[in-house]
Amino acid sequence: MRVTFRHVPPKTVLYVRALGPYARSTREAWTIMGRWLDRHGARPHMRVSMGVFLDNPATTAADLLRYDACVPLVAGLEADPVAGIGRQTLAGGAYAEHVLVGTHEAMGRIFSQMKRSALAERGVTVDSGRPFVAVYLPDPTVTAQAYLRTEICVPVLPVRLVLANDDASAEPVTHPAAKQA
C-alpha cells in the first residue's frame, strides 16, 4: 500500500451531519448536501469535497456513528440551519494518505488497513483526537465510478527527526598535507 504524508492547514467548510452506519449516513448526508447545492446553483463550483468520519465503528454503536459531508466555502453561500447545513472548521495537522482510484466500496477496509498495519509498520502513531477524512477529488455524483479519486486520510501524530548535516553543503575540508603541496 502506497502511503504518503502531508500537513493540512485547518479549513472552514459547510457541512451536513448524518447519524448511523457509515454505509447509510454517507448517502443520506450527500443527498441533503447535493440537493442544497443544486438549489443554490453551486454544484459546478465544487471541485473537491470531504467526508469526515467522526467516530470509530469498532468502539461506537452503529446508530451513533457521525458522518459530515463537507464542501469548501463558496462566495454567496452561508450556513443554512433550516436546511441542515452548518459551518465548521476542520482541524488541520499531519495526515497519512493513500489515494483510492475507483469505487468507494473499499474505503472502510483501507482506513482499517492503514490504521492497523501500514502506519504501524512505518512507526507512525494514529492521532485518535482527530477524525479520519476522505477527500473526494471529482464530484462522485457526476463521475463514473472507475474514474473516482479519493484521498483516504488518517490523522497521525507528527514526528520530529534530528537531521544530520548535509555533507554536500558543508564547507570543503582540506587535508593539512594538501596545503603544502
What confidence category does residue 110 fall into, taking pLDDT thresholds of 50, 70 and 90?
A: confident
CATH of 4-159, one of 3.40.50.2300, 3.20.80.10, 3.40.50.300, 3.40.50.10680: 3.20.80.10
- What separation in angstroms does the CA of 149 have from each of 14, 57, 98, 128, 160? 21, 24, 10, 25, 30
pTM of the predicted model as reported, rounded to 2 decimal places? 0.81
What are the grid coordinates assigned to 79, written together? 450556513
Asked whether 169 and 151 are in contact (CB, 8 A), the reply is no
Indicate the domain borders of the chain. 4-159
For residue range 130-181, what is the model confidence (pLDDT) as tens digits?
999 999 987 766 676 777 888 989 999 876 655 555 555 545 444 444 334 3
